[in-house]
Amino acid sequence: MAAMNWNFSIGHIEALAKLAKSHDANVRINPIKPTEPAHMRIALPPSMYYAGFARLMELCDPVDLGEPPIAAVTNTSEARRCPCGRTSFRIHSISPDGKVHVSPCVYLHDYKSEFDLLTNELSEIISSPQFRVFRQRNANPDIVEGCSGCSLLAKCGGGCVARSYLYRRHMTGGTTMLARDPYCPAEQRPQQAFPQSPALKREERLVHMDYLCTWIGQPH
């Protein structure tokens, strides 16, 4: 489910977990990323984001804690920070001039390598500047604005790169790959109690593990 301010209420979450359990299915949540300005009207406020995930953690055993702020507040030992540019990317549709471009992030549609998947090696594409900037942020989160010295930085890494970039662009008109996640746990200071160092259920390898900033849980 794409979590938005109209469908991520506690009632919706409880119904979703109940439905998933009845079908022996997992719950996977992707908070909406505002790929266009109009999406800001349906984006989650931080309080709703933390309240919703806290309830999900009560209803489900975590399978993947790929949402960086949630990885931070649960103090998971398996935090990998934002996966974009490392284990997650977007292959675009073929362009009018017959090329297939690749972006390091599914949500940043226009932020793509100029290399062509049909003629260039994948190694060239993932070594392009567009991919390198994502990996540099992941490896050096202390350079993210307002993050240096934060006790949660090792787990959070500055948060979701796409969400950080898009919120900054829509709210200020400026663009930077070093913006901080608007759901920053150190700034928002959620009041909910989250389980600490939860063991992840990893009996099977799922395609969306370490792909996008996503959360996966198994209802219990």
> For 37-87, what is each residue's pLDDT tens digit?
999 999 999 999 999 999 999 999 999 999 999 999 999 988 889 999 888
What is the mean pLDDT of the segment spanning 3-16? 98
In sequence order, the β-bridge partners of residue 126 are: none
What is the mean pLDDT of the segment spanning 111-130? 92
Contacts of residue 209, defined as CB under 8 A and 6 or more positions apart, other chains included, come to 63, 64, 66, 216
Query: d(Cα 114, Cα 100) in Å, to the nearest integer?
Result: 9
Contacts of residue 156, defined as CB under 8 A and 6 or more positions apart, other chains included, come to 68, 69, 71, 72, 79, 81, 141, 147, 150, 181, 184, 185, 186
71-76 long-range contacts, Cβ below 8 Å, gap at least 24? 71/155, 71/156, 72/152, 72/155, 72/156, 72/185, 73/152, 73/185, 73/190, 73/194, 74/194, 74/195, 74/196, 74/197, 74/198, 75/155, 75/196, 75/197, 76/155, 76/197, 76/198, 76/200
User: Residue 212: its pLDDT value, please?
Assistant: 87
State the pairing for strand pair 90-91/2-3.
unpaired
The model's pLDDT over 158-190, given as tens digits with 9 standing for 90+, comes to 999 999 999 999 999 999 999 999 999 999 999
Helix, strand, coil: what percent of the chain each, to 5?
A: 35, 10, 55
Q: Is the pLDDT of residue 24 over 90?
A: yes
Cα-flanking dihedrals φ and ψ of residue 63, to 5°?
-105, -40
Q: For residue 8, what are its two tokens?
A: 């991520």
User: Residue 110: its pLDDT value, please?
Assistant: 81
| Residue 207 binned pLDDT confidence (cut-offs 50, 70, 90) | confident
Q: Is the pLDDT of residue 18 over 90?
A: yes
